[in-house]
Amino acid sequence: MAGEDQAVTNFREYLRIKTVQPNPDYDGALAFLTKMAEELDLSYQIIQLSTGRRVFVLSWPGKCPSLPSVLLNSHTDVVPVFMEHWKVDPFSADKMDNGDIYARGSQDMKCVGIQYIEAIRRLKNSGKRLLRTIHLSFVPDEEIGGHTGMAVFVKDERFKQLNVGFVLDEGLANPTDSYTVFYGERSAWWLRVKCPGKPGHGSRFIQDTAAEKVHKVMTRLLELRAKEEKKFMDCDSCLKLGDVTTVNLTKLEGGVQVNVVPNEFVAYFDIRLNPREDLVAFEEQLKSWFAEAGKDVTYEFLQKGNCHQLTSTDKSDPWWNAFSSTLENMNQAYETEIFPAGTDSRFLREIGLPAIGFSPMNNTPILLHDHNEFLNEKVFLKGIKVYEQLITSLGNVPKF
């Protein structure tokens, strides 16, 4: 587009590739990334995972390749859209007169993938070469849990060969002047609770019904929800969402018709446990509540995250010192938080790697997974400059 920064043009081209779940155009994304790698004159590999998915890895060798490398991670897939709620085609990457670029993935997280690429392009063109090798990974299926993408990739021998020492991954936009920096995540527990009971006619007082049992289960868990919500609301901003545990009843199944007492109800809960929660004690509490509801009440985990590792935010840590000092030297305000949802960072922290979630989008509403997701081109371009500085600092962390 005439008069448009090439980085923005590349960003918009990437946004137009429909890598939308449940049928992402990963072939289109890989072709685009291959073109980017060839423009940068850097080596790349396409790694076939056991799940059939592929990971694209672009590498910029450092002067001391034996040192642990820096991994810049992003995911290529995006969440579905509801076309009727969008002001433009969500895969047109239309740019408004004020520079707002509307597209699914503009915040989550194709912006970051292109910012990595463009920052390295600028660093290379300026003649810089860093101490450590920089790898860029573009992984699939993060938006459906990452279990067919990053969760498998970190166990692959080819991941181990990258010799990763530190990781940057996605964060969130911030509507203020500050950036938000995430150093940990809550553990997601998705529960399916089965409450069997005696069936019968809807006109009778039947004892030991499924409804009574599911009511007891719901009461206990929703009381916990209310307690945590009160803690969050009463602290007057001293706590962020990631500092508390959230509980939500998300689905109920059961019943055949209005005048029949059903023989079973099934309740689904989405629980997000803050990193300071004792996971063993919490599950024991759940077991006692379910036993209280009925001896035949059973539960299973549809997902059970057990990663409570936190990345150091102490200045004595060389990685954190390099990251935070860079923002401070740029006079850029930032806030550290626990990520309230889930990203691929959890799989990296589980294997002991320090990982920071960061997307340089300030003065921007949080619109990931929302209708009319957008990012302004000025914010996008500023983010490239931020990554230039961050990549330089992280890539030049001395041996320790």
Q: Active-site positions? A: 77, 142
Distance CA 281, CA 138 (A): 37
Distance CA 79, CA 368 (A): 9
Q: Within 10 A of 224 (CB to CB), how many other CB atoms are there? A: 18
DSSP code at position 4: S
Q: What angle do CA 9, 366, 185 make, to 5 degrees?
A: 110
Distance CA 46, CA 242 (A): 35
Distance of CA 194 to the CA centre of its chain: 30
Report which of 339, 319, 306 is spatially closest to residue 390, judged by C-alpha positions.
Answer: 319
167 token code pair: 């990781």
Q: Which residues of 232-246 are buried (b: 16+ CB within 10 A; e: fewer)?
A: beeeeeebbebbbbb
Question: 191 by DSSP, 3-state: which?
Answer: strand
Distance CA 310, CA 185 (A): 8
